[in-house]
Chains A and B, each alone.
Chain A
Amino acid sequence: AQSVTQPDIHITVSEGASLELRCNYSYGATPYLFWYVQSPGQGLQLLLKYFSGDTLVQGIKGFEAEFKRSQSSFNLRKPSVHWSDAAEYFCAVIYSGAGSYQLTFGKGTKLSVIP
Protein backbone atom coordinates (compact mmCIF):
# COMPACT_ATOMS: atom_id res chain seq x y z
CA ALA A 1 0.00 0.00 0.00
CA GLN A 2 1.08 3.54 -0.64
CA SER A 3 2.50 5.27 2.39
CA VAL A 4 4.37 8.40 3.34
CA THR A 5 6.55 8.67 6.41
CA GLN A 6 7.49 11.89 8.10
CA PRO A 7 9.82 10.74 10.89
CA ASP A 8 9.79 13.98 12.85
CA ILE A 9 6.56 14.83 14.65
CA HIS A 10 7.79 18.18 15.99
CA ILE A 11 10.84 20.29 15.16
CA THR A 12 11.93 23.51 16.82
CA VAL A 13 14.40 25.86 15.14
CA SER A 14 15.68 29.33 15.85
CA GLU A 15 14.69 32.15 13.56
CA GLY A 16 17.32 32.54 10.87
CA ALA A 17 18.52 28.96 11.16
CA SER A 18 18.29 26.47 8.32
CA LEU A 19 15.56 23.86 8.15
CA GLU A 20 15.21 20.37 6.73
CA LEU A 21 12.02 18.35 7.04
CA ARG A 22 12.25 14.69 6.12
CA CYS A 23 9.87 12.68 3.98
CA ASN A 24 10.09 9.09 2.75
CA TYR A 25 7.57 7.38 0.50
CA SER A 26 6.92 3.75 -0.23
CA TYR A 27 8.29 2.57 -3.54
CA GLY A 28 6.06 3.01 -6.52
CA ALA A 29 6.33 3.86 -10.15
CA THR A 30 6.02 7.46 -11.28
CA PRO A 31 5.40 9.18 -7.96
CA TYR A 32 4.18 12.72 -7.93
CA LEU A 33 5.47 14.36 -4.77
CA PHE A 34 4.17 17.36 -2.89
CA TRP A 35 4.74 19.47 0.18
CA TYR A 36 1.80 21.31 1.73
CA VAL A 37 1.74 23.74 4.67
CA GLN A 38 -1.14 24.18 7.09
CA SER A 39 -1.40 27.09 9.50
CA PRO A 40 -3.57 26.62 12.61
CA GLY A 41 -7.24 26.38 11.69
CA GLN A 42 -6.50 26.72 7.99
CA GLY A 43 -6.63 24.55 4.91
CA LEU A 44 -3.62 23.27 3.02
CA GLN A 45 -1.43 25.46 0.84
CA LEU A 46 0.76 23.89 -1.82
CA LEU A 47 4.45 24.79 -1.30
CA LEU A 48 5.95 22.83 -4.18
CA LYS A 49 5.59 19.72 -6.29
CA TYR A 50 7.77 17.31 -8.22
CA PHE A 51 6.58 15.42 -11.27
CA SER A 52 9.72 14.80 -13.31
CA GLY A 53 12.92 16.40 -14.54
CA ASP A 54 15.28 18.38 -12.31
CA THR A 55 15.30 16.69 -8.92
CA LEU A 56 15.71 19.99 -7.06
CA VAL A 57 12.48 21.94 -7.12
CA GLN A 58 11.81 25.45 -5.95
CA GLY A 59 8.60 26.48 -4.27
CA ILE A 60 6.94 29.44 -2.69
CA LYS A 61 8.15 31.26 0.42
CA GLY A 62 11.79 30.35 -0.25
CA PHE A 63 11.32 26.60 0.18
CA GLU A 64 12.97 23.93 -1.95
CA ALA A 65 12.88 20.14 -2.00
CA GLU A 66 15.10 17.46 -3.46
CA PHE A 67 13.85 14.16 -4.90
CA LYS A 68 16.21 11.23 -4.32
CA ARG A 69 14.85 8.11 -5.97
CA SER A 70 17.58 5.88 -4.49
CA GLN A 71 16.53 6.88 -0.99
CA SER A 72 12.78 7.21 -1.70
CA SER A 73 13.01 10.64 -0.14
CA PHE A 74 11.69 14.10 -0.83
CA ASN A 75 13.07 16.37 1.89
CA LEU A 76 11.99 19.97 2.27
CA ARG A 77 14.59 22.67 2.99
CA LYS A 78 14.81 26.35 3.71
CA PRO A 79 18.11 28.18 4.26
CA SER A 80 16.79 30.74 6.76
CA VAL A 81 13.57 30.26 8.70
CA HIS A 82 11.25 33.15 9.52
CA TRP A 83 8.86 33.24 12.49
CA SER A 84 5.94 33.16 10.05
CA ASP A 85 7.04 29.70 8.88
CA ALA A 86 5.72 28.18 12.11
CA ALA A 87 3.03 25.76 10.92
CA GLU A 88 2.42 22.11 10.16
CA TYR A 89 4.01 20.64 7.05
CA PHE A 90 2.67 17.65 5.15
CA CYS A 91 4.41 15.56 2.56
CA ALA A 92 2.12 13.81 0.08
CA VAL A 93 2.37 11.48 -2.90
CA ILE A 94 0.26 10.44 -5.88
CA TYR A 95 1.06 7.24 -7.74
CA SER A 96 -0.43 8.04 -11.11
CA GLY A 97 0.63 4.69 -12.59
CA ALA A 98 -2.12 2.98 -10.62
CA GLY A 99 -4.73 5.14 -12.34
CA SER A 100 -5.51 6.82 -9.06
CA TYR A 101 -5.03 10.48 -8.35
CA GLN A 102 -5.74 10.51 -4.67
CA LEU A 103 -3.22 12.23 -2.44
CA THR A 104 -1.68 10.08 0.29
CA PHE A 105 -0.37 12.22 3.13
CA GLY A 106 2.16 11.73 5.87
CA LYS A 107 1.18 12.50 9.45
CA GLY A 108 2.83 15.88 9.32
CA THR A 109 5.69 17.68 11.04
CA LYS A 110 4.90 20.60 13.31
CA LEU A 111 7.46 23.38 13.05
CA SER A 112 7.99 25.78 15.92
CA VAL A 113 10.24 28.84 15.49
CA ILE A 114 11.88 30.51 18.47
CA PRO A 115 13.21 34.09 18.38
Chain B
Amino acid sequence: DAGVTQSPTHLIKTRGQQVTLRCSPKSGHDTVSWYQQALGQGPQFIFQYYEEEERQRGNFPDRFSGHQFPNYSSELNVNALLLGDSALYLCASSSWGQLETQYFGPGTRLLVL
Protein backbone atom coordinates (compact mmCIF):
# COMPACT_ATOMS: atom_id res chain seq x y z
CA ASP B 1 0.00 0.00 0.00
CA ALA B 2 1.77 3.13 -1.23
CA GLY B 3 1.84 6.08 1.10
CA VAL B 4 1.75 9.71 0.03
CA THR B 5 4.06 10.37 -2.89
CA GLN B 6 5.37 13.69 -4.17
CA SER B 7 7.31 14.73 -7.24
CA PRO B 8 9.82 15.99 -7.96
CA THR B 9 12.01 15.56 -4.88
CA HIS B 10 14.11 18.62 -5.63
CA LEU B 11 13.69 21.60 -7.92
CA ILE B 12 15.73 24.70 -8.74
CA LYS B 13 14.04 27.73 -10.31
CA THR B 14 14.89 31.38 -10.84
CA ARG B 15 12.92 34.40 -9.67
CA GLY B 16 9.86 35.15 -11.74
CA GLN B 17 9.44 31.61 -13.01
CA GLN B 18 6.49 29.34 -12.37
CA VAL B 19 6.58 25.90 -10.75
CA THR B 20 4.22 22.93 -10.45
CA LEU B 21 4.52 20.35 -7.69
CA ARG B 22 2.59 17.09 -7.63
CA CYS B 23 1.12 14.86 -4.96
CA SER B 24 -0.61 11.49 -4.94
CA PRO B 25 -2.52 10.75 -1.74
CA LYS B 26 -2.46 7.55 0.24
CA SER B 27 -4.74 4.83 -1.08
CA GLY B 28 -8.29 5.36 0.21
CA HIS B 29 -7.83 9.07 0.92
CA ASP B 30 -9.73 11.76 -0.94
CA THR B 31 -8.44 15.01 0.58
CA VAL B 32 -5.11 16.70 0.00
CA SER B 33 -3.59 19.54 2.01
CA TRP B 34 -0.45 21.48 1.14
CA TYR B 35 2.03 22.98 3.59
CA GLN B 36 5.12 25.16 3.18
CA GLN B 37 8.05 24.60 5.52
CA ALA B 38 10.71 27.29 5.41
CA LEU B 39 14.15 26.47 6.77
CA GLY B 40 14.13 26.29 10.56
CA GLN B 41 10.36 26.70 10.79
CA GLY B 42 7.33 24.51 11.28
CA PRO B 43 5.08 23.78 8.32
CA GLN B 44 2.46 26.40 7.41
CA PHE B 45 -0.88 25.50 5.88
CA ILE B 46 -1.39 26.69 2.29
CA PHE B 47 -4.72 25.13 1.24
CA GLN B 48 -6.82 21.98 1.20
CA TYR B 49 -8.61 20.26 -1.70
CA TYR B 50 -11.59 17.92 -1.67
CA GLU B 51 -13.87 16.95 -4.55
CA GLU B 52 -11.67 19.01 -6.86
CA GLU B 53 -12.44 22.22 -4.98
CA GLU B 54 -10.37 24.37 -2.64
CA ARG B 55 -12.04 23.99 0.75
CA GLN B 56 -9.78 25.92 3.08
CA ARG B 57 -6.96 28.37 2.52
CA GLY B 58 -4.22 29.69 4.74
CA ASN B 59 -2.56 33.08 4.62
CA PHE B 60 -0.84 32.76 1.25
CA PRO B 61 -1.07 35.09 -1.76
CA ASP B 62 -2.94 34.27 -4.96
CA ARG B 63 0.37 33.36 -6.60
CA PHE B 64 -0.20 30.02 -4.88
CA SER B 65 -2.89 27.98 -6.58
CA GLY B 66 -3.85 24.36 -6.76
CA HIS B 67 -5.83 21.73 -8.47
CA GLN B 68 -7.23 18.33 -7.62
CA PHE B 69 -7.92 15.68 -10.21
CA PRO B 70 -10.70 13.04 -10.26
CA ASN B 71 -8.21 10.40 -9.04
CA TYR B 72 -7.63 12.64 -5.93
CA SER B 73 -4.07 13.57 -6.89
CA SER B 74 -3.21 17.23 -6.60
CA GLU B 75 -0.94 19.93 -7.95
CA LEU B 76 0.44 23.03 -6.29
CA ASN B 77 1.33 25.89 -8.63
CA VAL B 78 3.37 28.90 -7.67
CA ASN B 79 3.65 31.83 -10.10
CA ALA B 80 6.14 34.69 -10.18
CA LEU B 81 8.53 32.93 -7.84
CA LEU B 82 10.27 34.95 -5.14
CA LEU B 83 13.44 34.08 -3.26
CA GLY B 84 11.27 33.68 -0.17
CA ASP B 85 9.36 30.84 -1.79
CA SER B 86 12.38 28.60 -1.26
CA ALA B 87 11.14 25.92 1.11
CA LEU B 88 10.14 22.30 1.56
CA TYR B 89 6.61 21.82 0.25
CA LEU B 90 4.72 19.04 1.99
CA CYS B 91 1.58 17.30 0.87
CA ALA B 92 -0.69 15.62 3.38
CA SER B 93 -3.54 13.27 2.62
CA SER B 94 -6.59 12.38 4.67
CA SER B 95 -10.17 11.23 4.38
CA TRP B 96 -12.83 13.95 4.31
CA GLY B 97 -14.54 12.24 7.23
CA GLN B 98 -11.31 12.09 9.23
CA LEU B 99 -9.57 15.33 8.39
CA GLU B 100 -7.90 15.41 11.78
CA THR B 101 -5.56 12.57 10.80
CA GLN B 102 -3.20 13.61 8.05
CA TYR B 103 -0.36 11.60 6.55
CA PHE B 104 2.55 13.47 5.03
CA GLY B 105 4.63 12.80 1.96
CA PRO B 106 8.42 13.23 1.82
CA GLY B 107 8.12 16.73 0.36
CA THR B 108 9.54 18.66 -2.57
CA ARG B 109 12.46 20.94 -1.83
CA LEU B 110 12.26 24.09 -3.95
CA LEU B 111 15.20 26.44 -4.29
CA VAL B 112 14.61 29.81 -5.95
CA LEU B 113 17.73 31.62 -7.17
Contact = CB atoms under 8 A, between A and B. Distances in A.
Contacts of B56: 100-102
Interface of B: 4, 33, 35, 40-45, 48, 56, 58, 90, 92, 94, 99-107, 109
A102 B48 contact: yes
Contacts of A43: 4, 90, 104-107
Contacts of B4: 43
Interface in A20-47: 32, 36, 41-46
Q: Is the interface of B mostly helix, strand, loop or mixed?
A: strand
Contacts of B33: 102-103
A42 B88 CA distance: 10
Contacts of B106: 42-43
A74 interface: no
Given A90-B42, A90-B43, A107-B42, A102 B104 contact: no
A70 B85 CA distance: 38
A89 B109 CA distance: 19
Contact of B45 (A51, A103, A106): A103
B42 A106 contact: yes
A96 B100 contact: yes
Contacts of A49: 100-101
A46 B105 CA distance: 11
A75 interface: no
Contacts of A103: 33, 35, 43, 45, 92, 102
Contacts of B90: 43-44
Given A44-B43, A90-B42, A101 B100 contact: yes
A105 B38 CA distance: 12
Nearest to B6: A43
Interface in A84-113: 90, 92, 94, 96, 100-108
A102 B55 CA distance: 11
Interface string A36-65: 100001111110010100000000000000
